């Protein structure tokens, strides 16, 4: 019975709980048992809050029985990257410095999920201070990929991708500064949405880079993502950068119809260095979209090498500003990964200001040159198969810096531009690890990206595959 429950999607379990076919307690117990089962193998949690989760599940079931008004996530067990504040509860950010930190506020998105009826299972592993694309963590242990624990789970929202793929929760929140939702979504074979900058409140969330960070959802299906994003999106008086743009009903917009839609394939940049197996997966996904009536059009994109560089300038400078005091007072408490913030202390202010001043113009040029020709842009998340933990460790043989850059290069531009990007599973590379494409659109086009992604998933089954965690590691 527990396996049947675990294989339901977020929307399916929510609807089953509402209809009293499954209790919130049964769903929560199944997730907790799975979390305990997979944790020794993939290390996706930092903390599991079993007692509190079971108490909340029993309360959720009582609400169903008495006919209370139920939210869209009522009784659904979720877990989140360990950087979402809950007043008085430890939030480590995957770091030694904040190992015992208890914030005095609760994040707006946490309050919204609670109001929608979600159950909090625990805090998920992450890269230290949300700072690397692989999921390495010196203090809490590396998060591992459930498809093969020798491989990275992607970062920095590593536990979010791994836990959702391993069926230890029905969905999770991550954050994306330069790909940190899309990296783990792609690496673990789940869906991940990096929304438009300002679409979701960031109040009560540990920052990495104020002008690049966004909150994003990782789920098993696009429909699940649509429901979760509907709950957390929208204006927030506590976050002045949060947009007042109306939030559509993302789930209702999943019509399955994309006939006549123009799908852009970049003629430059995104396929640089792409391996044959990734190209195969991308072409197969495009063939599916064409079979649904979409038009596939090759389109040249502006110079993204410059945007990649400018994005690095901004993220390094802002991270250094956030961490300046700790870097002075507690430098020994940063790992080699956390210490990558240090170069930002020496960036000239003029370089930072030039990068920020260039953003509006470069965003306008990108939107005009791309999204006046096509409706969405389709590209690989990674142009290479998911690498191993060993080959992405500092000091490993080979060019580790180049591997990290290859993991990030297709993802940083969307953060610099502030546009939405949706990662969707698209098969498997030659090493047996998942491959994924991303759909990008003009600002606040999340509904369109979700509609295209959902149409693709209606006729494909990649998102329904689950890793076999009983297999011995190869």
- Asked about 81 being catalytic, the answer comes back as yes
Instruction: Please identify which of the residues 91, 95, 153, 156 carries the catalytic annotation.
Output: 156
Interacting residues of 308 by C-beta distance below 8 A, sequence separation 6+: 408, 409, 412, 413, 416
- Identify which of 433, 430, 426 has the alpha carbon closest to the alpha carbon of residue 277: 430
Report CA-CA distances (Å) from 381 to 187, 213, 255, 369: 9, 18, 25, 21
Helices 50-65 and 10-18, packing angle to 10 deg:
50
136 neighbors 389 (Cβ within 8 angstroms): yes
Radius of gyration of the chain (CA): 21
Q: How do the residues of the chain divide into helix, strand and coil, expressed in percent and rounded to 5?
A: 40, 15, 45
Q: Please tell me whether the peptide bond between 156 and the residue prior to it is cis, using omega within 30 degrees of 0.
A: yes
Instruction: Please identify which of the residues 81, 157, 160, 311 carries the catalytic annotation.
Output: 81
- Asked about 298 being catalytic, the answer comes back as no
- Provide the H-helix boundaries in 344-441: 349-370, 400-408, 412-417
Calpha distance 131→126 (Å, rounded):
9
Report CA-CA distances (Å) from 285 to 154, 183, 423, 434, 440: 22, 18, 12, 13, 15
Length of the chain in residues, anyone? 474
Report CA-CA distances (Å) from 244 to 176, 227, 345: 20, 19, 34
Report CA-CA distances (Å) from 105 to 87, 109, 110, 198: 5, 12, 11, 20
Structural tokens at position 147? 């498809």
DSSP-derived pairing of the beta strands 421-428 and 434-440: antiparallel
DSSP-derived pairing of the beta strands 262-266 and 376-380: parallel
Residue 436 has φ and ψ, to the nearest 5°, of -150, 150
Instruction: Please identify which of the residues 23, 157, 160, 180 carries the catalytic annotation.
Output: 180
Calpha distance 302→373 (Å, rounded):
13
In the 8-state DSSP scheme, what is residue 154? Answer: -
SS3 328: helix
- Asked about 95 being catalytic, the answer comes back as no
Interacting residues of 349 by C-beta distance below 8 A, sequence separation 6+: none
Residues with a known catalytic role: 81, 156, 180
């Amino acid at each position: 019975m527990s396996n049947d429950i675990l294989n339901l999607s977020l929307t399916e379990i929510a609807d089953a709980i509402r209809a009293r076919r499954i209790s919130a307690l049964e769903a929560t117990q199944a997730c907790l048992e799975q979390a305990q089962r997979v944790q020794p193998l993939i290390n996706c949690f930092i903390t599991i809050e079993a007692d509190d989760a079971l108490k909340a599940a029993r309360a959720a079931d009582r609400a169903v029985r008495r006919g209370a008004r139920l939210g869209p996530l009522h009784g659904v067990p979720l877990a989140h990257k360990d950087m979402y504040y809950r007043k008085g509860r430890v939030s480590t950010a995957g770091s030694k410095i904040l190992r015992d930190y208890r914030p005095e506020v609760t994040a707006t998105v946490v309050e919204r999920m609670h109001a929608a009826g979600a159950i909090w299972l625990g805090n998920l592993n992450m890269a230290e201070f949300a700072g690397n694309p692989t999921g390495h963590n010196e203090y809490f242990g590396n998060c591992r990929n459930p498809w093969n624990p020798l491989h990275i789970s992607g970062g920095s929202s590593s536990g979010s991708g791994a836990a959702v793929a391993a069926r230890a929760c029905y969905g999770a929140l991550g954050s994306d500064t330069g790909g940190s939702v899309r990296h783990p979504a792609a690496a673990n074979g789940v869906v991940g949405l990096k929304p438009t900058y300002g679409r979701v409140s960031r109040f009560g969330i540990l920052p990495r880079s104020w002008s690049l960070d966004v909150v994003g959802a990782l789920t098993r299906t696009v429909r699940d993502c649509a429901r979760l994003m509907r709950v957390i999106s929208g204006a927030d008086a506590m976050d002045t950068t949060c947009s007042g743009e109306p939030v559509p009903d993302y789930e209702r917009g999943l019509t399955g119809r994309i006939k006549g839609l123009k799908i852009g394939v970049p003629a430059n940049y995104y396929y640089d260095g792409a391996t044959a197996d990734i190209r195969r997966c991308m072409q197969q996904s495009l063939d599916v979209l064409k079979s649904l009536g979409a038009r596939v059009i090759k389109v040249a994109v502006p110079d993204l090498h410059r945007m990649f560089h400018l994005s690095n300038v901004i993220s390094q400078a802002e991270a250094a500003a956030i961490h300046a005091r700790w870097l002075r007072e507690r430098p020994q408490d940063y790992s080699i990964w956390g210490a990558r913030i240090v170069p930002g202390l020496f960036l000239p202010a003029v370089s930072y200001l030039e990068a920020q001043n260039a953003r509006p113009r470069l965003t306008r040029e990108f939107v005009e040159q791309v999204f006046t020709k096509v409706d969405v842009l389709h590209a690989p998340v990674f142009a290479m198969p998911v690498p191993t933990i060993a080959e992405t460790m500092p000091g490993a043989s080979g060019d580790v810096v180049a591997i990290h850059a290859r993991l990030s290069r297709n993802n940083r531009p969307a953060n610099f531009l502030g546009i939405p990007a949706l990662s969707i599973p698209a098969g498997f590379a030659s090493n047996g690890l998942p491959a994924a494409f991303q759909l990008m659109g003009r600002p606040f086009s999340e509904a369109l990206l979700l509609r295209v992604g959902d149409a693709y998933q209606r006729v494909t089954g990649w998102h329904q595959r689950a890793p076999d965690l009983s297999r011995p590691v190869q």
